[in-house]
A and B are shown apart, each in its own frame.
Chain A
Amino acid sequence: MAKIKGAIVIDIEKCKGCELCLVSCPTDVIRMEKKVNGKGYHFAYMEYPDNCTGCANCAVVCPDGVITVYRKKFEE
């Protein structure tokens, strides 16, 4: 059975830690890092990458356009 898997890449230095991606993710992939970036923001990261479907919801709502989304179909 084919499985869709996604992944996101976050431009950490431009992330402002607003958490809008976190609440818009339907599969609960994203958490905020305890560490801060150069501007002092807790940036987003994939805590549960296995859940990511590459739906791009996070990237679409991200005000700063810091999220790039990838998606690949795996045959299992």
Chain B
Amino acid sequence: MGKMKLMKGNEAFAEAAIRAGCDAYFGYPITPQSEVMEYLAAQQPQLRTGMVLLQAESEVAAINMVYGAAGTGKRVMTSSSSPGISLKQEGISYLAGSQLPCLILNVMRGGPGLGTIQPSQSDYFQATKGGGHGDYRMIVLAPASVQEMSDFVKLGFELAFKYRNPVIMLSDGIIGQMMEKVELFEQVPRLTEFDQQWVTTGKTPDRERNVITSLDLDPARHERHNLKLQAKYQKMRENEVRFENIDCDDAEYLFVAYGSCARICQKSVKLARAKGIKVGLIRPVTLFPFPSEEIGRRAAKLKGILTVELSSGQMIEDVRLAVDGKVRVALHNRMGGMVPSPEEVVDALLKSFSIR
């Protein structure tokens, strides 16, 4: 059992990066995630584990440094917030197309445009449906606590290497900034052996040269490449769905919420149950792959589902696909950095489904 520490979400993420044996971090400052690089810099990871830390000239450069470093087969990561993640999209598309593992943290803030530095969940579509150009998906992990800001770093790297694919942690300004107790995992050694099958280490006489590219001008071959990618994403759908159920077994109504909204809804469940309303909460932990089966399975027995989001309603589309019309799905949302109170969510539930 490790020691409990009181940390900010962003700091826990950074500490976990060092402990997960991350080989390199490339970033660019942006609120509300700047503590990640600040914490790393203060820790001098180059001395602690030999981890590379570099502040790039832009988010564009940072993600391309990640792309280059990921090609060497090492554990690499970057972090940013919404506008910065938009800038990284081209690089993420290249990472996905070239099948490179890496971990990306998005501490979401409100948009569109420069928007606000306050928390938001309005990058759900961007993270779960691709984001950049081309047909690709990333595993999307949605931490709802400082503990998960730490735990998901380790999990994220495992999944990234398992599928040779970028993994994104979709956090938000609340989770990144808030302080909670966290139990940190023990130091994992940095990688010392590399899968020579595909990484760039320098061509040796015993193998063909390794080329990392997403380009293929032969349409038939490129279609095969795309089919291979899609098959990989299907495997993720089959094997990597993660979610948390709270009070779902006797539930007549369900909240579906992730990240900070799930934390708010935990309280709303208690408040509603105190009023005698049987409500449960499904918290998707992976947003891609989405726990569609779990939500769909419960749909027929429910009187209504309320999704609670810090966006105009993005995840609700996946919930509606999951229930396939079997139950009405309503939305309670706030935008622009506003956050709903637990009471407000309960009121929304009552109103949406005319519960008296």
- Do A and B have CB atoms closer than 8 angstroms in the complex? no
B residues within 8 Å of A by Cβ?
A: none
A residues within 8 Å of B by Cβ?
A: none
